[in-house]
Amino acid sequence: MLIVLTDAHKEHLSFLTTVDASVVAEFANLAVEFVRVGINPKLYNAAAQKLGIAPDAIRNAVEGLMYLLVESAKLMTTEIDFHDSILTLGFSEELRQQLLQLYLDNRKEIRLILSEMTINVPSYHNLEWRLDVQLASRSLRRQTDPIVLLKLETRTQEVQQQFLQTDPAGLVHLTSVLDAALSELKSAHTRRILRNIK
């Protein structure tokens, strides 16, 4: 799958055409480090003083390179698709091969880092319910006040319990909202989005 880059990313990456291959290699190392441990402004300032360039230009180039690597790893882009994606950027053949090798060398590690960064959303484990009805009280002899008690168990790494209480009208509303969410999940638009996320 080809990587779609915005004009801003293309502009940030176009900076790589103005520097030597050794500088691009350093930027590539900075981009991989950025994925591993996060941003380090001191490195940008040191590189800017060494090259005599504004720190923002270096930061934009490194972040653009990092975005290219992350998106490629996320989509499991093949060598041909990666090559075709950066072909539009106007890089020399040597630079394209250098970036392709960087991508191939770090693809597994970037995917591992991305998998560790995902949010672990609780999933359904079990549901128990009980219907309590108050038929009368001292002040009201003919009264029906139904209450539904729910014990919802969810699991992330361990099972957690949540206790909920609602009236039948609230339960009907809850089920209608969940049914609407399930039907939305089956729509073509949602399937297309989920296919691109994986």
Beta strand 123-134 with 159-166: parallel, antiparallel or unpaired? unpaired
Compute the distance between CA of residue 189 and CA of residue 181 in angstroms, rounded to an integer. Answer: 13
Q: What is the pLDDT of residue 100?
A: 85
Q: What is the pLDDT of residue 195?
A: 76
Please state whether the predicted TM-score (pTM) of the whole model is above 0.75. Answer: no
Residues of the chain with pLDDT under 70: 1, 197-198
Q: What is the pLDDT of residue 148?
A: 92
133 - beta bridge partners? 146
List of residues 6+ apart from 44 with CB closer than 8 A: 30, 55, 58, 59, 62
Rounded to 10°, the helix 7-14/55-74 angle is: 120
Q: What is the pLDDT of residue 165?
A: 93
Tens digit of each residue's pLDDT (9 = 90 or more) over 133-182 = 887 777 777 777 889 999 999 998 889 999 999 999 999 998 999 999 98
Q: What is the pLDDT of residue 194?
A: 76
Q: What is the pLDDT of residue 126?
A: 94
Q: What is the pLDDT of residue 24?
A: 78
